[in-house]
Amino acid sequence: MVSNPNDTPLRLPNTKLFINGKWVDPVVPKTLVTINPATEKVICEVSEGSSKDVDIAVAAAREAFENGPWNKMTAQQRGKLLFKLADLIEQNKEWLATLETTDNGKPYSMALDFDVAQSADTIRYFASMTDKIQGKLIQGSEQKLTVYTRHEAVGVAGCITPWNFPFLLLCWKIGPALAAGCTVVAKQSEITPLSALALCHLVEEAGFPAGVFNLVTGYGHTVGDAIARHPDIDKISFTGSTRVGRLIMEASGKSNLKKVTLELGGKSPNIIFDDADLDQSVMGSIFGVYINSGQCCAAGSRLFVQEGIYDKFVEKFTEAAKALKVGDPFTGVTLGPLASKEHFDRVMNYLAIGRKEGVKVSLGGERLSNVGYYVQPTILHEVNDDMCVAKEEIFGPVACIFKFKTVEEVIKRANDTQYGLAAGIFTTNLNTAHRVEKKLRAGTVWINDYGYVNSLIPFGGYKQSGFGKDLSEYAIQEYCSVKSVIINHGQAL
C-alpha cells in the first residue's frame, strides 16, 4: 500500500475489467502490476485482458449501440448522463488526482487543478453539445428533390490512450464519442490503469446503460492490437506514439477500414524573436518544455532563439529551469518523476546519445535521487539540426536551444521535422506573429503563450503527428458518419 496526504492508505478502484456494466475477470486469468514511479514500489495488480475479453466487450458495445436503451435516448438524455458524469468527476476530484499522481508521478496539484479539472470541463462541454449535432438541408438541387444530411453516430468506438495524461486524454475521447451516441471500448495504457478504472465506477454511478462504456485493461500488443483489428469496431481514436499510430492504421487497413483518428508524437519548435517580452517568453518556454516533466506530446522542446536576445534569454531561462522544484509529487513540486522505468531509461539513453553527438549539457542531464525515476531539468546547447536529440521526441525534461538570425531561416528550420503537432512564437510584432504562424506546419500555434488547451479549441497534428481532432465541435465529427438523404417527390414542390 502507498500512502499520501489525502488518502491513507490509497483507496483503489476495482481492478477487474469493466464490461457490459459489470466488473468481470479476464477470460484467461492474468494480472499486470502497476508501479508508483516515485517509490518504484508496486501499487497493485490489475486484470490483464486479452483479445478474448476485447471480443466480449465489443459484443456488449455493439448490442448497446444497436438495441440498448442508449440507442433510444434523445440527445438531451445522453447529455444529462454526461453532465452527471462531469459532476461526479468533480465530486471525486481528490480521489482521481491521488490515483493519477500515484500511478503516473505527476505533481498532485497538477493532477487536481489541470488533469481532473479539465476532464470535468471536457465532459461537461461535450454534454452540452449532444443536441447541437445537426445535419444540413441542401438547397439548390433539382426542384423535385428534397435533400438533407443526417450526422449519425459511427457505431462502436475503440479508444486507446497513453500514460502521460491518462485520465484527461481518456475524457478527451469518450466525451465526443458518447455525445455523438457511440458506444465505447477503451484501453488505457498498462503503465497507468488506475484512473481509468476509477472512471468506470463513476460511469456506473452516473447511470449509463450497460455496454455503453467498457474498459479492458492490458497491454498494447494484445488488447490494443485486438481493438485495432476488430472487425466490429467502427472507429479507432488513438493517442500515443507515431510508431504505434502506424500499426493502428495498418490494422484498420487490414481489417474493416475503420475510421481512424491519430494524435501522435511531436518535436515542437518554440521561436523567441529579438523583440519578445523577455519574462513572458522565458516563463512560457519553461512551461512549454518542462511541464509534466516534459512528457507532453506538444512540448516546445526545440527552442529557437534569435541572436539579439540569445544571451539574455538563455541566462534567464537557465535560472528559471534551475529553480524548478523536482521531487515527491505529493509535496508541492513542479516536476515529479518520469512515469516508468522503461521511459526513464529511454530519456537517459537520449542524453547519452546527445553527449556522444557532441552537445553541451549546460544544466542537468543526470538522474536525481537513487529511488524514483527523477531526471533533472536539462538544457542542451550546441545542438545541430540533424542530430538525433534535435530530431527525435525525447519526451522528458530536456530543452534543445538553437540560435537563429532571420525569419526565413527559422521558419525553414522549425518546419524541418517529420512532426507537426504544435509550435510557439514569442514576439511583440503582430506582423511577425502572423507571418510566421501562417508558414508553420503545425496543428496548434501559440503566440506569446505555450501550452494553453481548452475544450473549445480543436487539438491535433499535421504531418506525422497524426490527423483528426480531439476537443471542440470538430471532435464530434470524428465520431459521426454523414448520411445524404435524397427524396424524389416526382414533381417540383
Residue with cell 493502428: 248
Rule CB under 6 A: choose which of 64, 86, 112, 160 binds ligand NAD.
160
Separation CA 182–CA 133 (nearest Å): 13
Which segments within 2-153 are labelled E, that is strand? 17-19, 22-24, 31-36, 41-47, 137-138, 145-153
User: Interface with ligand NAD by CB under 6 A: which range of 92-100, 111-119, 140-148, 156-164?
Assistant: 156-164
Residues 6+ apart with CB under 8 A from 213: 18, 174, 178, 183, 184, 186, 200, 203
**In sequence order, what DSSP letters do the residues of 313-368 get, joined into one string?**
HHHHHHHHHHT--BS-TTSS-SB---S-HHHHHHHHHHHHHHHHHT-EEEE--SEE
Separation CA 283–CA 281 (nearest Å): 6
Task: Draw the binding track, 422-461, toward ligand NAD (x: CB under 6 A; -: no contact).
Answer: ---------------------------------------x
Q: Applying CB under 6 A, does 164 fall inside the site for ligand NAD? A: yes
User: Interface with ligand NAD by CB under 6 A: which range of 75-83, 234-242, 302-310, 479-487?
Assistant: 234-242
User: How many residues in total does the chain contain?
Assistant: 493
Rule CB under 6 A: choose which of 272, 393, 410, 463 binds ligand NAD.
393
Q: Applying CB under 6 A, does 119 fall inside the site for ligand NAD? A: no
Rule CB under 6 A: choose which of 241, 256, 428, 448 binds ligand NAD.
241
Among residues 342 and 416, whose Cβ is nearest to ligand NAD? 342
Closest residue by Cα to residue 374 from 343, 330, 332: 343
Q: Applying CB under 6 A, does 297 fall inside the site for ligand NAD? A: yes
Catalytic residue, chosen from 100, 190, 263, 393, is 263
User: Interface with ligand NAD by CB under 6 A: which range of 94-102, 107-115, 215-223, 320-328?
Assistant: 215-223
**Shortest Cβ distance from residue 180 to ligand NAD (Å)?**
19
DSSP secondary-structure letter at 419? E
CB 64 within 8 A of CB 210: yes
Decide: residue 367, CB within 10 A, 0-12 exposed, 13-18 middle, 19+ buried: middle
Q: Applying CB under 6 A, does 265 fall inside the site for ligand NAD? A: yes
| Residue 263 annotated to the active site | yes
Q: Applying CB under 6 A, does 206 fall inside the site for ligand NAD? A: no
Catalytic residue, chosen from 44, 182, 297, 400, is 297
Q: Applying CB under 6 A, does 247 fall inside the site for ligand NAD? A: yes
Q: Applying CB under 6 A, does 6 fall inside the site for ligand NAD? A: no
| Residue 297 annotated to the active site | yes
Q: Is 483 helix (H, G, I), strand (E, B) or coil?
A: strand
Active site amino acids: 263, 297
Q: Which residues bind ligand NAD (CB under 6 A)?
A: 160-164, 187, 189-190, 219-221, 224-225, 228, 239-241, 244, 247-248, 263-266, 297, 393, 395, 421, 461, 465-466
